[in-house]
């Protein structure tokens, strides 16, 4: 007897845009420019443009498995480039423009990307990073701006993606490759502080998308207009470039501006129903409305993640905006969503990040990695596994998981009797400010290299707006050194938003029994 069978249907990400183009051709992707103008395009037209991107990249020698880097804001050009890269089987390597050229160059060197797609205003950073990276052969400007190209006259490797697309047809083949192929690459500070590349796969992101669409997670509908404030260069944009087209919803991209006035205007003009971003974004929106007045009647729900939500801020947002705040927890290594509060849950609370959906499993362990006897109630070290969870970091032959496939998140957590998770702290020293990681070790090394400094430590201090902000504690051997001199190596060596908010001088740095700086004591005294 021969058993029946189902059709072989590879779970590749190009299918989301192809589906939207066929069944929701006129549903819009709306992209806002810095000057306030808005650009609209339907999924059918955008699908053709994305295939033209694939053809243009193919002409430049890009093939399946090659990394193509992007340094760009949330725009139409970035969106269609995502699909152009991913659809042909190449890997979209997103770069964070908030990092330094040295940081970006190091990531480019690791990815070995030869093509870099750039928002015009980021061209100077792109050129500097490409020098550091070494392998970039072509820089193509998104959202065609001839002025930026003219300003770069004489640099043969800089051109317009729009011009390259115009010479191509949209008949290049999409898909037709294994669903386990890589689709994206995003670097994160990780749980150890060292930048690590997380490789997303088509299958992992496809399953992540289907999980997000469930009613108890994000529950996006075809009549939703989703404002994607979370950057496309960070944590796979929380999967929204796949989730929204999957149901034919309107995707609203704010460009580089995420201030309150800009977001309020977009929400009103596009009748946004769902906004997604870190808590500080919505604080800026509230402050704008409190100052200027006005309401946002279309806004029904805000999904927050990336940083803890202070209770007072959650109450303030819900009262002023009239929208429900939905909390979540995740990380880059999880594609990125791990858990989410149920939409409309009357028992929702700012410190509770919801339950895992099917495809994500959680485990609490002791510090040695042994499972706690009781998983509900006690605090433990949080581990996670599933088809959308990192198995191995980019370029690393060693697994990122333990022998049973569990990934150590570096977080401490409790799980209540209903299965809701509450993140109670982090086992590592990384500081999470506004949803972004800050690595204290890098700053400690730079300041500690000053001859006038004996010991230096950076810790996070609770901040009502950003969740945490770094402060610098120093023991000096020369009292004459002033604060600006202490900060000088940081201004040259790290991103501006890493700069500590305060400097505290100590007569004697507290030391643990091991002889290392006692950060537990420092956090207790100054955190």
Catalytic residues: 188, 333, 432, 437
Residue whose C-alpha is closest to residue 34's, from 258, 260, 240:
258
Query: Burial, 449: exposed, middle or buried (Cβ in 10 Å; 0-12, 13-18, 19+)?
Result: exposed
What is the H or E stretch that residue 81 is in? helix 76-87
Distance CA 148, CA 158 (A): 10
Cβ-based neighbours of 137, under 8 Å, separated by 6 or more: 60, 114, 115, 157
Q: What is the Cα–Cα distance from 477 to 507, expressed in whole angstroms?
A: 10
Residue keyed to tokens 């399953």: 207
How many beta carbons lie within 10 A of that of residue 40, not counting itself? 12
What tokens were used for 78? 């970035």
Going from the C-alpha of 272 to that of each of 26, 66, 263, 297, 339, the distances in angstroms are: 17, 36, 10, 9, 24
CA distance 243 to 220: 8
C-beta separation of 158 from 72 below 8 A: no
Angle in degrees, 0-180, between the axes of helices 101-111 and 123-133, rounded to the nearest 10: 50
Q: What secondary structure does DSSP assign to 359-425, as a single string? A: T-EEEEE-TTSPBPS--SSS-EEEEEESTTS-SS-TT--S-SB-TTS-EEEEEEEEE-TTS-EEEEE
Spatial neighbors of 253 by CB under 8 A, at least 6 apart, are 29, 30, 31, 32, 74, 75, 76, 78, 79, 228
What is residue 342's DSSP assignment? P
| Separation of alpha carbons 213 and 215, rounded Å | 6
How far, in Å, CA of 141 to CA of 100, rounded? Answer: 20
From CA 349, how far away is CA 365, in angstroms rounded?
A: 25
């Amino acid at each position: 007897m021969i058993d029946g069978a189902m059709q072989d249907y590879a779970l590749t990400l190009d299918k989301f845009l192809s589906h939207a183009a066929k069944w929701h051709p006129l549903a819009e992707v709306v992209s806002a420019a810095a000057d306030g103008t808005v650009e609209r395009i339907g999924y059918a037209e955008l699908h053709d443009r994305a295939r033209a991107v694939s053809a243009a990249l193919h002409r430049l020698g890009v093939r399946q498995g090659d990394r193509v880097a992007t340094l760009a804001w949330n725009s139409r050009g970035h969106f269609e480039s995502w699909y152009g890269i991913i659809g042909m089987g190449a890997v979209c390597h997103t770069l964070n423009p908030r990092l330094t050229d040295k940081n970006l160059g190091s990531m480019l060197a690791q990815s070995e990307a030869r093509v870099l797609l750039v928002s015009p205003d980021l061209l100077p950073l792109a050129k500097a990073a490409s020098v550091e990276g070494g392998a970039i052969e072509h820089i193509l400007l998104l959202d065609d701006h001839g002025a930026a190209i003219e300003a770069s006259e004489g640099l043969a490797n800089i051109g317009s993606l729009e011009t390259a697309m115009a010479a191509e047809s949209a008949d290049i083949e999409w898909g037709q490759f294994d669903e386990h192929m890589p689709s994206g690459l995003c670097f994160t500070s990780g749980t150890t502080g060292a930048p690590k590349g997380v490789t997303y796969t088509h299958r992992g992101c496809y399953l992540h998308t289907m999980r997000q669409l469930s009613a108890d997670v994000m529950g996006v509908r075809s009549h939703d207009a989703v404002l994607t404030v979370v950057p496309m260069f960070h944590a796979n944009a929380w999967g929204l470039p796949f989730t929204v087209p999957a149901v034919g919803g309107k995707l609203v991209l704010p460009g580089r501006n995420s201030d309150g006035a800009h977001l309020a205007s977009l929400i009103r003009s596009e009748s946004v129903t769902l906004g997604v971003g870190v808590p500080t974004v919505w604080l800026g929106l509230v402050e704008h409305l409190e100052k200027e007045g006005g309401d946002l009647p279309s806004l029904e729900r805000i999904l927050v993640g990336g940083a803890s939500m202070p209770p007072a801020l959650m109450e303030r947002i819900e009262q002023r905006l009239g929208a429900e705040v939905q909390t979540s927890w995740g990380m880059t290594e999880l594609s990125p969503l791990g858990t989410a509060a149920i939409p409309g849950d009357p028992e929702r609370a700012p410190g509770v990040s919801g339950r895992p959906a099917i495809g994500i499993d959680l485990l609490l362990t002791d510090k040695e990695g042994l499972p706690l006897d009781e998983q509900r109630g006690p605090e433990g070290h949080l581990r996670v596994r599933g088809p959308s969870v990192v198995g191995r970091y980019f370029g690393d032959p060693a697994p990122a998981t333990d022998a049973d496939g569990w990934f150590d998140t570096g977080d401490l957590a409790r799980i209540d009797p209903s299965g809701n998770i509450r993140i109670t702290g982090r086992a590592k020293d990384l500081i999470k400010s506004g949803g972004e990681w800050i690595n204290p070790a890098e700053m400690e090394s730079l300041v500690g290299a000053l001859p006038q400094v004996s010991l230096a430590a950076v810790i996070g201090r609770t901040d009502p707006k950003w969740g945490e902000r770094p402060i610098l504690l120093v023991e000096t051997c020369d009292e004459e050194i002033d604060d600006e001199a202490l900060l000088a190596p940081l201004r040259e060596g790290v991103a501006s938003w890493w700069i500590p908010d305060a400097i505290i001088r100590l007569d004697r740095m507290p030391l643990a029994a091991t002889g290392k700086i006692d950060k537990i004591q420092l956090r207790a005294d100054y955190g």
